[in-house]
Chains A and B, each alone.
Chain A
Amino acid sequence: MTGKKYQYIDLTYMYEIADDDLAFVREMLASFIEKIPPQFEQLLNSAVVSDYKQTSFLAHKLKASYQLMGVKLLADMAYRIEVDSAENPEPAILELVQSMKPLVDLAIGELQTELALIPLKPSSDL
């Protein structure tokens, strides 16, 4: 259903968690699309002001959401930002965060495509 259908996302894990409950997948995708861009902006802002403790914390949190949606490239970058911000804080971290922005947009675009394919129906488990 998902596999290599997309370039930036892989929803295999998300569908495994949902156990064929498409309504739940729909809710999760919609939530990611709504909440992740502002969270990324927070990450960017913390990197801009060189608040490395906050940058590391936010990258850690974003990493988990990226993993959930199989956005491996962004999850790997978030992990690098998380570790570097904690262990070796330097201005280059801002460049890395900034380089994530177009990838976030592309991943969101693919998730919107997938979301449009899932029929509207409330989940029975939430």
Chain B
Amino acid sequence: MKTILLIEDEELILRALEFRLKRDGYNVIKAADGREGLHQIETNNFDLLITDMMLPFNNGLEVVGKVKKIKGKAFPVIVLSNVGLENTVLEAFKMGADDYITKPFSPAELSIRVKRLLN
């Protein structure tokens, strides 16, 4: 079973994403802020990172940079973004993010984008 590290500080969104990913058959490791996310990156094995951009303590850009440094440039990363934060998404792509999902997310789109990167 593939494992996804999910970093999102808004609890309801985190639970909704976790629910959908588990429905799709993935194991999910959760982190509720950037600091916890960086700790999970350093201590856990996982196959894909999904991270929000606006996070307390360490933002999404730091998280993306860290995972690419530790796991390698080819490690798949999806960033979560709200409408209006397109510049932040561009910065994430410069850091090596592979894809992005806009919130509120489409469950079908989430499934497809995750499956594409894990296959």
Enumerate chain A interface residues (CB-CB to B < 8 A). 13, 16-19, 21, 24, 27-28, 31-32, 35, 57, 60-61, 63-65, 67-68, 79, 83, 123, 125-126
- Find out whether the CB atom of B20 lies under 8 angstroms from the CB atom of A28: no
Taking the closest CB of chain B, its distance from the CB of A31, in whole angstroms, is: 6
Q: In whole angstroms, how far apart are the Cα atoms of A64 and B15 in the complex?
A: 12
- Of chain A, the residue at the smallest CB distance from B23 is A125
- Find out whether the CB atom of B19 lies under 8 angstroms from the CB atom of A24: yes
Residues of chain B within 8 A of A21, CB atoms compared:
19
Is the CB of B12 closer than 8 A to any CB of chain A? Answer: yes
Interface residues on B, range: 10 to 19
> Which residues 12-58 of B have a CB within 8 angstroms of A?
12-13, 15-16, 18-20, 22-23, 54
Given contacts A17-B16, A27-B15, list 13 more A-B pairs with CB under 8 A: A17-B107, A21-B19, A28-B16, A31-B11, A31-B12, A63-B82, A64-B103, A65-B12, A68-B16, A79-B84, A125-B19, A125-B23, A126-B15
Taking the closest CB of chain B, its distance from the CB of A46, in whole angstroms, is: 14
Q: In whole angstroms, how far apart are the Cα atoms of A4 and B82 in the complex?
A: 26
Q: Quick one: which of A28, A79, A83 contacts B12, CB cutoff 8 A?
A: A28
- Find out whether the CB atom of A17 lies under 8 angstroms from the CB atom of B20: yes
Is the CB of B10 closer than 8 A to any CB of chain A? Answer: yes
Interface centre among A16, A32, A61 (most CB of B within 10 A): A61
Q: Quick one: which of B20, B22, B82 contacts A60, CB cutoff 8 A?
A: B82
Q: In whole angstroms, how far apart are the Cα atoms of A24 and B98 in the complex?
A: 30
Residues of chain A within 8 A of B103, CB atoms compared:
64, 67
Residues of chain B within 8 A of A123, CB atoms compared:
19
Is the CB of B99 closer than 8 A to any CB of chain A? Answer: no
- Find out whether the CB atom of A35 lies under 8 angstroms from the CB atom of B19: no
Taking the closest CB of chain B, its distance from the CB of A23, in whole angstroms, is: 11
Taking the closest CB of chain B, its distance from the CB of A11, in whole angstroms, is: 13
Taking the closest CB of chain A, its distance from the CB of B62, in whole angstroms, is: 16
Residues of chain B within 8 A of A68, CB atoms compared:
12-13, 16, 104
Q: Quick one: which of A17, A60, A125 contacts B54, CB cutoff 8 A?
A: A60
- Find out whether the CB atom of B11 lies under 8 angstroms from the CB atom of A35: yes
Minimum-distance CB pairs A-B, first 8: A67-B104, A65-B12, A64-B10, A125-B22, A61-B10, A64-B13, A17-B16, A125-B19
